[in-house]
Amino acid sequence: MTDYFCMDKAALMREQQALLAEYGRYKAMGLRLDMSRGKPCPQQLDLSMEMLRMEDYIGENGVDARNYGLLEGMPEARRFFAELFGLDAKEVIVCGNSSLSMMYYLIDLGWRAGWADSVRPWRFCNNIKFLCPVPGYDRHFRVTEYFGFQMLSVPMDENGPDMDLVEELAREDETIKGIWCVPVYSNPDGVVYSTETVQRLARMQTAAPDFKIMWDDAYCVHHLTDEILETANILEECKQAGCPDRPVMFCSTSKITYPGAGVAAVGASEHNVRYITKNMTPMLISYDKMNQLRHVQFLKDKAGVLAHMKKHRAILEPKFRLIKDTFAAGFAGCGPIARWTDPKGGYFISLYLQDGCAKRTVQLCKECGVVLTGAGAAYPYGLDPQDRHLRIAPTYPSLEELGTAAKLLCVCARLATVELLLQKAA
């Protein structure tokens, strides 16, 4: 095969014909695959079924988890998540099945009532803004957009967000109230924030006294290699920098046990924990403490979680490898028309195509019955300014489905690229 960029128009048209023929064969297969979300597969869910056999729901403090009470969570569950966060149990609130709903609640709290360190609630500020490292997590952006905040994109590099830009923006504009971060195996690029990035986030000057780092540690134990990659502790760094109330940390067992019925937790300064639980008191008597106890009994501690995550890795690593191998073969010899990430953990692979090719590729796949995450989903307002990024979610489909989908994706991406080059040549 020849590098697409070296092909003349006639060669491109021949390549297009060949690709269309191949595409037609996929179309005839009547595929029906959804690769749009980072969902665990059934075998992953089966790993935790033993957890459900628990029969004793009295906590270590004698509290009956079945009854009302303990808004901040069972003490053993607070200690469990404290170890995952690297915090003290007093700095943890253990919640229900959704960390997203806690992020939403805390954005709502800042907007409606303000934080303990707010001069006034965010809603009294015209034109609130939030920093959104891109590519990033679409559900973060959606919450921000729902509350009417303006989203400012900040590019990511291999160390995390562009900190020169973050520092400059946060220092100069007091309407910038926070930043979304997925510090470990970031969604979707798989970046692990460097220690320097974490320290600069903690130490930077912010014009807003109530600037919040929304630290979504969704993939903190979701390793795909033997390397255990972790970041510096954002709360510890913020304490040292004199702004302990700046970060709010989130994690959950959604991708450890069950996406639908896991346990989420919030980590923050004791001052923030008191402020948050005080505000939550009118809303809720307690979260599902039975599920909290179930999780702690089953996973035990961080070592137990890491051992459990190795079983997930055994299922997931071949899927990630298959995607990368298929991309390597499927784009071989076409020239530099695509590059993709090689994450050491997390749930996604990013595929970067030529500018202007992402949407068309998604459309071509869809017409063959394979649903990818919408092009642009990893950017605020769903707008990838270069229309080049695709988020690949390899976890849910079977290896066989995944192989077919990845091969089809290569054909579609090449077809989109050839179309683009033909347009340019016209």
Site residues, a copy of itself (CB under 8 A) = 37, 39-40, 42, 45, 49, 52, 54-55, 64-69, 96-98, 100-101, 104-105, 108, 112, 139, 142-143, 145-146, 254, 258-261, 281-291
Q: Checking phi first, is residue 387 left (phi over 0); if not, alpha (psi -120 to 50) or beta?
A: left
Rounded (5°) CA angle 74-80-84: 140
Residue 324: CB minimum distance to a copy of itself, A:
25
Residue 21 tokens, joined? 């023929």
Sheet holding 339-340, edge to edge: 339-340, 349-352, 389-392
Residue 163: CB minimum distance to a copy of itself, A:
28
Neighbouring-strand partners of residue 349: 392
The closest of 345, 339, 108, 105 to 220, measured between CA atoms, is: 345
d(CA 311, CA 90): 31
Which of residues 68 and 333 has its CB atom nearest to a copy of itself in the complex? Answer: 68
Residue 378: CB minimum distance to a copy of itself, A:
17
Q: What is the DSSP letter of 251?
A: E
Backbone angles phi, psi at 339, to 5 degrees: -135, 155
CA 299, 301, 303, 307: dihedral to nearest 10 degrees? Answer: 10
Which of residues 8 and 55 has its CB atom nearest to a copy of itself in the complex? Answer: 55
Which of residues 66 and 90 has its CB atom nearest to a copy of itself in the complex? Answer: 66
Which of residues 228 and 383 has its CB atom nearest to a copy of itself in the complex? Answer: 383
Which of residues 30 and 42 has its CB atom nearest to a copy of itself in the complex? Answer: 42
The closest of 77, 177, 84, 164 to 125, measured between CA atoms, is: 177
Distances 392 to 106, 180, 257, 262, 402 between C-alpha atoms, Å:
29, 21, 22, 24, 10
Instruction: Answer whether 251's CB lies under 8 Å from 81's CB.
Output: yes
**Count of other CB atoms within 10 angstroms of residue 232:** 17
Residue 239: CB minimum distance to a copy of itself, A:
30
Which of residues 67 and 363 has its CB atom nearest to a copy of itself in the complex? Answer: 67
Residue 112: CB minimum distance to a copy of itself, A:
7
Residue 57: CB minimum distance to a copy of itself, A:
8
Cα of 349 vs its chain's centroid, Å: 11
Residue 96: CB minimum distance to a copy of itself, A:
6
Instruction: Answer whether 185's CB lies under 8 Å from 343's CB.
Output: yes
Which of residues 123 and 313 has its CB atom nearest to a copy of itself in the complex? Answer: 123
Which of residues 100 and 420 has its CB atom nearest to a copy of itself in the complex? Answer: 100
Instruction: Answer whether 86's CB lies under 8 Å from 106's CB.
Output: no
Backbone angles phi, psi at 143, to 5 degrees: -60, -45
Which of residues 250 and 287 has its CB atom nearest to a copy of itself in the complex? Answer: 287
Residue 103: CB minimum distance to a copy of itself, A:
9
Residue 74: CB minimum distance to a copy of itself, A:
10
Residue 114 tokens, joined? 């303000």
